[in-house]
Amino acid sequence: MTVAALAVLWGVLLWGALLSVRAAVAARALDRRRRPAPPPRAAPHVVLLVPALREQELLGEVVRAAAGLPYPPGLLHVVVVTTEREERERRAVLDRAAALAADLVASGARDAAARLAGVVPSGLAAEAARRTRASADPAGTLRAELDAVPTTREVASALLPEVAAEHPGVGLHHLHYPDEGAKSSQLVHAVERLADLLPPDATPSFTYVGLYDADAQPDLDTLTHLAAAVSPDGGGPAPDLVQQLPLQLRRPHAARPGAADVLLRAHALADLRRRAGVEAHRILARRRLRAARLPARVTAVAEPVVYGIGSGLFVRHDTLVAIGMYEEPVDDLLVGYKLSSAGAVMEVLPVFNLVDRYSGTAALGKAYALVAHGSLAGCRRLLTDPVLRAFRLRNTVVLVKEGLDTLWWFAGPAVVLAAAGTLVVRGAHGPLLAWAAAACAYTVLHAWWCVRRARHWLAGHRGADARAEPPDGPSPFVLGLAFLCQPLLHWAGPVRHVARLLRGGPLVLGKTER
């Protein structure tokens, strides 16, 4: 048992070190590719979908950022997709305004603001809660506060004509999804209507459908690099998927100082290793394997599985329709699974999408719970879908790899804790201390690399705004402690998901409420 426990602990640590090495190599490769590329002979039509739910504060930022990306006139189309779900939930809140106002009065100021975040935009929640709590008629004041906040649909209707006047070469469209369903359903609603929105020369085989969430701030060179990546000048097949990596290096409006905020800032920094060492590395590795011209069965087994990362994910229009578009419960994960099974051609952009980091640990837990549920749903789909099973070996490889990955995500931290506990019980304190010292030393190097990489990528990001959050603030000691807590933060999602299932809660979980 002692040998097995040590094997688990050192295996986990060495795997983390390997990810860090991969991240450093991939980051250098992306930096080399960021140099200006010659203009391609032909540029594709690009559709940028912006699904919006309670995004009154941020919608203007992302629409202007998307419409302001340099690109040939007539080839860029921005589609804002609002949803009836927001207005239905708003009506439900108004119906219980008296009870909610009573809860706000009974809560402390901080708890009241948290309760109201998501009902009104987070940046307005604290002041709205304060006025409601101070009012002689809390219920009436709360109703007035809610009525004073326009819906996202109203904001979009007023905003888009202004942006269209500022960017006359960009097609700007607003669609409203009238049915039930979450983000994936909004996106499918938009893709199904692209034939009516795009010009006749937007052939699906050379049109790319991208996705930006409302907190996105893409690099100004994004579409230039996209056009170069999919250009027919290279002679190869046009990529099915082009991934732009997100950097969680913008401070959200709802962020509040405190210990939790330090944890979340460390999470945003630690996330850089995952972006470079997992997502970018896997796409670059697939390219290298294709170039090696190995036997098809060897390539199918060796190619890593690529996850789709929604905000910054571009898929060729005809490919997107062929794979069934976006699916609930997670819009992006199954896109990556399905295209990996199909052996799709993939590219990664060397410029990044700056996005808000998480504002609270509860929001982060909800996000990871949603992804955990999506991972399980994706594995079930790979196992049972006859269309995916038709890919035979590739689909089996994706299922095995992702099944093991998902299993380790759920059980891994418990296994590591059990291994450490075994060493304590058996009195193997020396080996345990040696491993703990090595783990702490690795964490220091990991944090140092992430801080340096954050500074470098932020400095090179064209279009970063005042909310960009440099990796300054916490002392190195505090930052190191926050990095040590990251595995437990990642584990909180699966734990939350399992707990919700055991309580009989609904399967579809929410993400952040801005």
pLDDT exceeds 50 at position 509: no
How far apart (Å, rounded) are the C-alpha atoms in residues 183 and 197?
Answer: 20
**Tell me: the pLDDT tens digits for 305-359?**
898 888 899 999 999 998 888 888 788 788 888 898 888 899 999 999 999 988 8
Give the three-class secondary structure for 200: coil
Residue 448's H or E segment, with its range, is: helix 429-460
How far apart (Å, rounded) are the C-alpha atoms in residues 138 and 105?
Answer: 8
The single residue listed with the structure tokens 């992006």 is 332
Q: For the chain, what is the radius of gyration of the CA atoms?
A: 24
Mean of per-residue pLDDT scores for the chain:
85
**Tell me: the pLDDT tens digits for 408-439?**
888 888 888 898 888 888 888 888 899 999 99
Give the three-class secondary structure for 81: strand
**Tell me: the pLDDT tens digits for 258-270?**
888 888 888 999 9
Write down the pLDDT at residue 514: 43
Backbone φ and ψ for 64, nearest 5 degrees, come out as -70, -35
pLDDT exceeds 50 at position 215: yes
> Token pair for residue 447?
């944090």
- From the centroid of its chain, how far is CA 373? 15
How far apart (Å, rounded) are the C-alpha atoms in residues 312 and 334?
Answer: 15
Q: Please report the DSSP string for 141-180 in residue order.
A: HHHHHHHHSPPHHHHHHHHHHHHHHH-TTSEEEEEEE-SS
pLDDT exceeds 70 at position 117: no
Task: Say if residues 191 and 77 touch (Cβ distance below 8 Å).
Answer: no
Write down the pLDDT at residue 316: 94
Write down the pLDDT at residue 513: 44
**Tell me: the pLDDT tens digits for 446-490?**
989 999 999 999 998 998 777 888 887 777 788 888 888 888 888
* Better pLDDT: 116 or 301: 301
> Token pair for residue 203?
């052939």
Give the three-class secondary structure for 223: helix
How far apart (Å, rounded) are the C-alpha atoms in residues 267 and 249?
Answer: 10
pLDDT exceeds 60 at position 507: no
pTM: 0.88
How far apart (Å, rounded) are the C-alpha atoms in residues 347 and 29?
Answer: 13
Write down the pLDDT at residue 327: 84
**Tell me: the pLDDT tens digits for 380-390?**
888 888 878 78
Write down the pLDDT at residue 235: 63
- Taking CA 45 as the corner, what is the angle to CA 39 and CA 50, rounded to the nearest 5 degrees? 115
Residues 6+ apart with CB under 8 A from 346: 239, 240, 241, 242, 243, 283, 286, 287, 306, 339
Task: Say if residues 486 and 272 touch (Cβ distance below 8 Å).
Answer: no
**Tell me: the pLDDT tens digits for 13-67?**
999 999 999 999 999 999 998 877 667 778 899 999 999 888 888 888 899 999 9
- From the centroid of its chain, how far is CA 176? 23
Give the three-class secondary structure for 76: strand
Alpha-carbon dihedral sign for residues 324, 178, 180, 215: positive
In this structure, the strands spanning 45-51 and 207-211 are: parallel
